Amino acid sequence: MAFIFAALAVSLLVTLLLIRGNLTRNRNQRHLFATRRAGWVRPAHLRGYGRAGGVGIAAGLLVSLLVRLGDDAPGASDAARIGILLLVSAVPVFCAGLIEDFLQGLSIWLRLGAAVCSAAVAGYLLEAWITRIDIAMLASVLALPVVAVFFTCFAVAGLANAFNLIDGFNGLAGGVAVLILLGIAYVAFKSGDIAVLACALTAVGAITGFMLLNYPRGLIYMGDGGAYLIGFWIAVLLILLVSRNPGVSAWFPVLVCSYPIFETLFTIYRRVVIRRSHPGLPDVAHLHHLVYKRLVRWLIGTHLAVHRTQRNALTAPYLWTVAGAGVVPATLFWNNTLALQVGCAAFAVGYVAVYSRIARFRSPRWLVLRKARDD
């Protein structure tokens, strides 16, 4: 397990250097730093080192994988090869995210195009194509190579964007990613797929190194580059897990990633159908925003910067629980297609019910954090 700690240590060190660079940069721009630490949503003008936490994650992955190349343990070289090819494939989408983090103004379509490009490269280098979805009537359609390529690129780009969508509070996207990766690692272990297991745990180490400085105080953010990278990494690992292990149901990826997937689908529905606006137009009506505004703010209600930071940190555990509602049953029933399909339906119904109740100020009392009354 030394490779996990290597990924964590490198990620932590690089993230510390990025924070130092951010502090140095803001000595003459203190208002930017103050705004970043105080706000509960990230200001649109924040860019550069403050949003470059994904660099630490990428560095942790790269160094750990390179170290494993010389490891003579069973499966180490295969895991390192797959991981390095996966990192190479991620270059287009990761770089697109970094450009947005440092310069901003890169259109969503260009970033999605970069994600599609990365998916196509990964599919070619690793033979990571979606060739089955365990639905009989669609099996013959997906057997067509052009359909498999198109569907794979669409799915991978969609999940990469989904992680960018949920990256709204300290520790949120990172914590969800760790839960999902642990679920992937467990199923890979049960299936005897050491390479996927090692790649998943390496990513857990790298993300944890970043999270030590991101959560709870928000000293640095993951940024688009980091969110796209971990979403892409998870998507391709899931494709490899299913394609390399026939015993793993094709519905396992859907349920284990049910929170980011359904958050994206529901957001598109809410923007296009309910609000009649562009699906890419940002807003502050995601589930994590509602949790912050209507479940957490009653506990620490002042507008002091330190209290806003505390409320920010209290938001992520709610969404970790939501993500866990998909990860846990997916991990338990990873080879049972019917149970996974039922779990996906149950998650969708539960998500809509919870969102609706919070949006209508009808949240159960036990969900709302309130300050204890003084007797």
Q: What is the pLDDT of residue 23?
A: 65
pTM: 0.89
Q: What residue segments make up the domains of the chain, in order of their start?
A: 2-367
How far apart are the C-alpha atoms of 357 and 354, rounded to whole Å? 5
Give the number of other Cβ atoms within 10 Å of residue 47's Cβ.
17
pLDDT at 207: 95
Question: What's the confidence (pLDDT) of residue 26?
Answer: 59
* CA-CA-CA-CA torsion sign (210, 226, 345, 128): negative
The 3-state DSSP composition of the chain as helix, strand, coil percent (nearest 5) reads 75, 0, 25
Distances (CA, A) of 9 to 6, 209, 234, 236: 5, 6, 21, 24
> Along the 375 residues of the chain, how does pLDDT read in single tens digits?
788 888 899 999 998 888 876 666 655 554 443 334 334 445 444 556 778 889 999 999 999 999 888 777 777 888 899 999 999 999 999 999 999 988 887 888 899 999 999 999 999 999 999 988 888 777 778 888 899 999 999 999 999 999 999 988 889 999 999 999 999 999 999 999 999 999 999 999 999 999 999 898 888 898 899 999 999 999 999 999 999 999 999 999 999 999 999 999 999 988 888 877 777 777 778 888 888 887 776 555 556 666 677 778 888 999 999 999 999 999 999 999 999 999 999 999 999 998 988 888 777 665 665 554 444
Rounded Cα gap, residues 167 and 182, in angstroms = 19
| Amino acid 307: pLDDT | 65
Alpha carbons 240 and 242: distance in angstroms, whole number: 6
Which pLDDT does position 304 carry in this prediction? 60
Structure tokens at 26: 């803001």
Q: Does the bond joining 43 to the residue before it have cis omega, within 30 degrees of 0?
A: no
Per-residue pLDDT, 37:
38
What is the greatest pairwise CA distance in the chain? 70
Q: What residue type is assigned to position 337 of the chain?
A: T
Q: For residue 216, which amino acid is it?
A: P
